[in-house]
Amino acid sequence: MDKKGPVKGTDMNALTIWHDAAIGIRDGVVVWIGSSEEATILETTQTINANGRLVTPGLVEPHTHLVFGGSREKELALKQQGVPYLDILKQGGGILSTVRATQEASYESLLEKALFHLDRMATYGITTLEAKSGYGLDRDTELKQLRVVKALNEQHPLDIVSTFLGAHAIPVHYKGDPEAFLLEMSEMFDEIKQENLAEFVDIFTETGVFTVPQSRRYLKKAKEKGFGLKIHADEIDPLGGTELAVELGAISGDHLAVTSYEGIEKLANSNTIGVILPGTSFYLGKDDYARAREMIDAGAAIAISTDFNPGSSVTENLQLIMSIAALKLKLSPEEIWHAVTVNAAHAIGRGDVAGSITVGRKADIVVWDAPNYLYIPYHYGVNHTNTVIKNGKVIYERQGLR
Ligand SMILES: O=C(O)CC1=NCN=C1
Ligand SMILES: [Zn+2]
C-alpha cells in the first residue's frame, strides 16, 4: 500500500508486492524496509521470522457498532421466516431492542463487553477501527456509549475512531416527531465536541427512520459544529442517501446496497468513500449487494467493513467479509486489500497514519498463515492471522493446540 490514497478506480488493482522483504521497527515506528539480505546488517533486539509468510499492513475496520448491550439471536428465526429488517424495527425490535438493553446496561458492563469484541477483532488482524454510538437515543445513554469508546481507546492497544450515531432510529416517545428527536440529538453536538467524544456524526437515512431532507438539515448542523460526516445510506430503500453524502462532502457513505446509477456516478466523481457492508446483505438474506464493481469501474474509492452489530451483521471477522466481497461483489483480491487497508483508513480520517507499511508510520503489521495475498479471500470463514503487531508490539500470536 505505497499509495497515499484514497485509492480510486483502476488504481485499486495496482498492488505493490515486495518479495523476501524485511521491515525494521524502532520505538513502534517503521524505520526501514528492504530485502532480507540487507536486513542481516541490522543490529536487532528482537527478530520475528515470517518464514516466507504473507505480511501486510494491519487491517482497518471502518464501520462498527461496537458498544451495545444484550443480543438479538431471537430475531434470527424472524429473518428465516422472511420478516423484513424494517418491519422488525417498526414492531419495536431490531435497533430498538438493543436500545433497551443498552439503556439498562451499566457503563462497566458495556466496557467489559466491548473489550471482549475488541480483543477478538485484534486476533483477526484489525489494528485500527471505527466505533459508533446509536443504541441510546437519549442523551445519557449516548454519552455513556461514547465514553466507553473513549475509555477503550485509553485501555486497549487498538486505535478507535468515534462516531456519534444518536440519529440511528426514532425512539418510541418521539414516534410521530422525528424532527423534534433530531433537535434533541443535535443539541448534544457542543458537549460531544467539548469532551472530544466523537470525530464524526452519522445518521440512518432510511424508510421509516430519517428522510433525506431531515438528514440534510441534521448533518449540515453537525458540519457547522466541525464534525466529519457519515451516512448509513441506501441500505434497504434507494432514498438517495448516497447522493446526499456526496452533496454534503461526507467522508463516507456507508452500505450503498441499493444506490442508484446517478448515485454511483456522483460517488465516483467525489472525494466521498463508499464503505460497503456485504456481510449485512449476506446476513439479511438480501439478493441485492452493493454494486461495488460498478462503483470502482466508475472511478470510486471503495472500502469494506463487517458492520459489526448485534442485529444485521453479527461478526468481527473482516477476513470473512473479504471473501464475501470477492464472491458477491466480484472485487479482485488487489481491490479487496486496498478496501481493508488504505481506503478504510481514509474512510475514518486515518489515511495518514494507518493502512500501509511506510517508513515513518506506526508499525501496525500482520503476519498471516498464508503464502500470498490471494489466499485470504480464497479460504473463507477462518482466522488466518499468525502474528498481529500494533505500534511495533506483538499483541497476538496464534497458539498451536495444547
Ligand atoms: O441493526 C442494527 O443494530 C445496526 C444497523 N443500523 C442500521 N442498519 C443496521
Ligand atoms: Zn451500521
Q: Which cell numbers hold the place of 212?
A: 433525506
* Cβ of 234 less than 6 Å from ligand 1: no
In three-state secondary structure terms, 393 is strand
Q: What is the pLDDT of residue 316?
A: 98
Is residue 232 part of an annotated ligand binding site? Answer: yes
Distance 161 CA to ligand 2 centre (A): 14
Calpha distance 323→336 (Å, rounded): 9
Residue 164 cell numbers, joined: 456519534
Please state, in angstroms and rounded to a whole number, the distance separating the CA atoms of residues 58 and 361.
Answer: 12
Q: Which atom of ligand 1 is nearest to the CA of 95?
A: 3
Regarding beta strands 385-390 and 393-397, do their DSSP bridges make them parallel or antiparallel, or are they unpaired?
A: antiparallel
Q: Is the CB of 98 under 6 A from ligand 1?
A: yes
Tell me the CA–centroid distance for residue 309 and ligand 1, in Å.
7
CA distances from 254 to 101, 305, 375 (A): 25, 9, 27
| Distance in Å, CA 360 to ligand 1 centroid | 37
Task: State the pLDDT at residue 371.
Answer: 96
Give the cell for residue 270. Answer: 467525489
- At residue 279, the pLDDT reads 98
- pLDDT value of residue 41: 86
What string of pLDDT tens digits covers the 402 residues of the chain?
Answer: 777 889 999 999 999 899 999 999 999 999 999 999 999 888 999 999 999 999 999 999 999 999 999 999 999 999 999 999 999 999 999 999 999 999 999 999 999 999 999 999 999 999 999 999 999 999 999 999 999 999 999 999 999 999 999 999 999 999 889 999 999 999 999 999 999 999 999 999 999 999 999 999 999 999 999 999 999 999 999 999 999 999 999 999 999 999 999 999 999 999 999 999 999 999 999 988 999 999 999 999 999 999 999 999 999 999 999 999 999 999 999 999 999 999 999 999 999 999 999 999 999 999 999 999 999 999 999 999 999 999 999 999 999 999
Using alpha carbons, list the distances in angstroms from residue 293 to 3, 8, 262, 298: 21, 12, 15, 9
Question: 204, 258, 307, 309: which to mutate for ligand 1, most atoms within 8 A of CB?
Answer: 309
Is 309 near ligand 1, meaning CB less than 6 Å away? yes
**CB distance 350 to ligand 1 below 6 Å:** no
CA dihedral sign of residues 231, 10, 261, 256 = negative
Ligand 1 geometric centre to CA of 95 (Å): 6
Burial string for 345-375 (b: 16+ CB within 10 Å, else e) reads bbbbbbbeebbbbbeebbbbbbbbbbeebbe
Interface predicted TM-score (ipTM) of this complex, two decimals: 0.98
Q: Which ranges constitute the DSSP H helices of 303-396? A: 318-328, 333-339, 342-347, 375-378
Cell numbers for 11, please give them. Answer: 488504481
Sign of CA dihedral 29, 32, 34, 38: negative
Cell numbers 463487517 correspond to what residue?
Answer: 306
Q: What's the predicted TM-score (pTM) here?
A: 0.98
Q: Say if residue 173 carries a ligand binding annotation.
A: no
Sheet holding 393-397, edge to edge: 55-57, 365-368, 385-390, 393-397
Q: Is 135 in the pocket of ligand 1 (CB under 6 A)?
A: no
Nearest CA to ligand 1 atom 8: 312
For ligand 1, pick from 63, 64, 65 the residue to mutate: most ligand atoms within 8 Å of CB: 65
Sequence-distant (≥ 6) Cβ neighbours of residue 259 within 8 angstroms: 233, 234, 238, 242, 253, 267, 290, 291, 295
Indicate whether residue 317 lines ligand 1 (CB < 6 A).
no
- Beta-bridged to residue 22, according to DSSP, are 34
Judge if the beta carbon of residue 65 lies within 6 A of ligand 1. Answer: yes
Give the number of the ligand closest to the Cα of residue 309.
1
The residues, ordered by sequence, that sit 6+ positions from 364 with a Cβ below 8 Å of its Cβ are 57, 58, 127, 128, 354, 389, 390, 391
Q: Which amino acid is present at 270?
A: S
Q: Are 1 and 335 in contact (CB under 8 A)?
A: no
With a 6 A CB cut-off, is 93 part of the ligand 1 pocket? no
Annotated binding residue at 287?
no
Q: Which amino acid is at 200?
A: F
312 lines ligand 1 (CB under 6 A): yes
Which of 95, 168, 170, 209 has the most ligand 1 atoms within 8 A of CB, as the residue to mutate?
Answer: 95
